[in-house]
Amino acid sequence: MPEAEFHAHPLSRLFPYAPFNVREAADRVAAIEGHRRDLASRLGRDVGLPVAALDYLQNITGELLAPRIVEDKVLDALEHRSITDPLTGLFNRYHFDATLTREVARCLRYGTRLSLLLMDVDQMKAVNDGWGHQVGDRLLSRVAGAMRQSLRSSDVVSRYGGDEFAIILPDADGQAGRLVAERICSEVKAAGPVEAGGPEPGVMAQSTVSGGVAELPPAATMASGDLLIVAADQALYLAKRRGGNCVAGGAADSR
């Protein structure tokens, strides 16, 4: 199979839930290409890679038992929805968990740096109780926007749950993670209050965020994402105890 065609129609893209791993995929691609040529010689026309792959995996090997045909645009929408938080547009907890597991493994394998930043909105309950959840939702969306503006393309920001956010910072130590967190705190505060409306027009709901930073030790030989989450959560708790609108953990809190 020509390389350009392989990248245009990778097997994992055609059948994302097929029961074979990436290593096995290369063998399947070669077999499917042979099956495609065989079908073309029998039918007198090229059936294309998707049809050849479907016939091979369902009727020849039996690896697909009940496949469904889905348009690319529909599949893209479903995949996007499965990993995205609908309110903020950030990644969801499911995507965060999978990404953190992968990044921890990469860090241990190659000896790279990895930091985790947990942040939550200060006094979020008071905003929801005082002005309603619609105002709270607008506030969360504004915080999410401030986070996007403060991060690199390689960073992964997710809505961790409720008013809490989790940011995976590949190739970043604790000091760099702290700088990122402080930048987000400044961005959120600079964005200004959200107009509450309701019975008291003109009243504003002002909020800030707090952050906790944890770094995977450079010399670590064994680690899990859970340990990193616990460390970042403890640092976040410390920031909240200090009154909020601040960051704990990272190099400045290594003592």
Residue 91 maps to which CATH number? 3.30.70.270
**175 and 242: one domain?**
yes
pLDDT at 3: 38
Does 74 map to a domain? no
pLDDT at 206: 72
Does 180 map to a domain? yes
Does 152 map to a domain? yes
Does 77 map to a domain? no
Give the number of other CB atoms < 10 A from CB of residue 213: 34
**225 and 99: one domain?**
yes
Determine contact, residues 123/244, Cβ cutoff 8 Å.
yes
First to last CA, the chain: 57
Is 163 known to be catalytic? yes
Q: Which residue, of 20, 44, 69, is where some domain finishes?
A: 69
Give the domain range for residue 217. 83-253
**128 and 249: one domain?**
yes
**50 and 133: one domain?**
no
Tens place of pLDDT per residue across the chain (255 aa): 443 343 444 555 666 555 555 566 677 778 888 999 998 988 989 988 888 888 888 888 887 777 776 666 766 666 667 889 999 999 999 999 999 999 999 988 888 899 999 999 998 998 888 888 888 898 999 999 999 999 999 999 999 999 999 999 999 999 999 999 999 999 998 887 777 665 555 556 678 999 999 998 776 666 778 989 999 999 999 999 999 999 999 754 433
Q: Which residues fall within 8 angstroms of residue 183, CB to CB, at 6 or more apart?
A: 150
Q: How many domains in the chain?
A: 2
**65 and 88: one domain?**
no
**52 and 101: one domain?**
no
**41 and 151: one domain?**
no
pLDDT at 5: 41
pLDDT at 178: 95
Does 24 map to a domain? yes
**13 and 110: one domain?**
no
Q: How far apart are CA 51 and CA 46, in angstroms?
A: 10
**36 and 146: one domain?**
no
**Residue of 97, 163, 173, 253 with catalytic role:** 163
Q: Which residue, of 17, 37, 69, is where some domain finishes?
A: 69
**96 and 213: one domain?**
yes
**122 and 243: one domain?**
yes
Does 119 map to a domain? yes
Does 134 map to a domain? yes
**38 and 153: one domain?**
no
Give the number of other CB atoms < 10 A from CB of residue 79: 11
pLDDT at 108: 87
Among the listed residues 229, 226, 190, the one whose alpha carbon sits nearest the alpha carbon of residue 209: 190
Does 75 map to a domain? no
With 0.75 as the threshold, say if the pTM is over it. Answer: no
Q: Which residue, of 36, 69, 102, is where some domain finishes?
A: 69
